[in-house]
């Protein structure tokens, strides 16, 4: 997807990414869960301004922002909005499509249980082999690529909910999930 896809409001991009395909090497999966983050709210790393850690967030749209969470997991985000705005979409979960055996080996799991492979942002980066070295890479032609929705999905039904796993700005309904997916990190409650 071209940079213009990401040069829109981050909440709009987070919804539009549902059903798109995320690839890294020989592994790929359909994006089924995302969360939006913007420098105007305190849960976003960019809220504090530009630092060596957050510089990528303010970069051009369509690049990867990869950071270490809790000193353990590399998490993958797609930078959005015009350059100079700190905004990104966290890729929270994917449904594995190709390279399932390799993903399972990286996660130390059986390939017969694909639902457990990428049902969380740290799990999916481990399964795909995404590392901090991928920070700042182009998501249209780099090692990690996000491409459009497949024909089998058509227009997906996207559910909206509050973000999870954060302590600030939890009330914002900026988490988006593919309705009915078995591959989410946490199911969306019925309201």
Render pLDDT for 77-102 as a digit per residue (tens, 0 to 9). Answer: 999 999 999 999 999 999 999 999 99
Instruction: Please name the helix (run of DSSP H) or strand (run of DSSP E) that holds residue 14, with its range, or none.
Output: helix 10-16
Q: Which residues lie closer than 8 Å to 107 by C-beta, 6 or more apart?
A: 116, 117, 123, 126, 127
Cα separation, 31 vs 20, whole angstroms: 6
Supply the pTM of this predicted model.
0.94
CATH architecture of 3-178: Roll (3.10)
By C-alpha distance, which of 3, 21, 16 is closest to 176?
16
Least confident of 45-49, 63-67, 105-109, 133-137: 45-49
Other Cβ atoms within 10 Å of 111 Cβ, number: 15
pLDDT at 181 over 90: yes
By C-alpha distance, which of 19, 14, 4 is closest to 153?
19
When pLDDT is cut at 50, 70 and 90, the band that residue 62 belongs to is very high
When pLDDT is cut at 50, 70 and 90, the band that residue 188 belongs to is confident
Render pLDDT for 111-125 as a digit per residue (tens, 0 to 9). Answer: 888 899 999 999 999
Cα end-to-end span (Å), the chain? 34
User: What residues does each domain of the chain span?
Assistant: 3-178
Q: Across residues 9-30, what is the average pLDDT?
A: 96
Summary mean pLDDT of the chain: 91
pLDDT at 52 over 60: yes
pLDDT at 150: 66
When pLDDT is cut at 50, 70 and 90, the band that residue 165 belongs to is confident
């Amino acid at each position: 997807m071209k940079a213009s896809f990401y040069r829109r409001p981050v909440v709009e991009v987070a919804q539009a990414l549902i059903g798109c395909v995320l690839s890294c090497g020989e592994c790929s999966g359909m994006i089924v869960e995302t969360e939006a983050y913007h420098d105007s709210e305190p849960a976003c790393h960019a809220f504090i301004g530009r630092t060596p850690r957050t510089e990528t967030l303010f970069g051009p749209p369509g690049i990867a922002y990869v950071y270490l969470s809790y000193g353990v997991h590399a998490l993958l985000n797609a930078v959005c909005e015009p350059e100079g705005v700190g905004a990104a979409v966290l890729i929270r979960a994917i449904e594995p499509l190709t390279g399932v055996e390799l993903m399972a080996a990286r996660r130390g799991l059986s390939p017969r249980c694909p639902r457990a492979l990428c049902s969380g942002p740290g799990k999916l980066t481990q399964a795909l082999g995404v590392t901090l070295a991928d920070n700042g890479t182009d998501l249209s032609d780099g090692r990690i690529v996000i491409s459009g929705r497949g024909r089998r999905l058509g227009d997906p039904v996207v559910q909206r909910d509050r973000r999870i796993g954060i302590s600030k700005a939890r009330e914002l309904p900026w988490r988006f999930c593919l309705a009915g997916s078995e591959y989410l990190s946490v199911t969306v409650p019925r309201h």
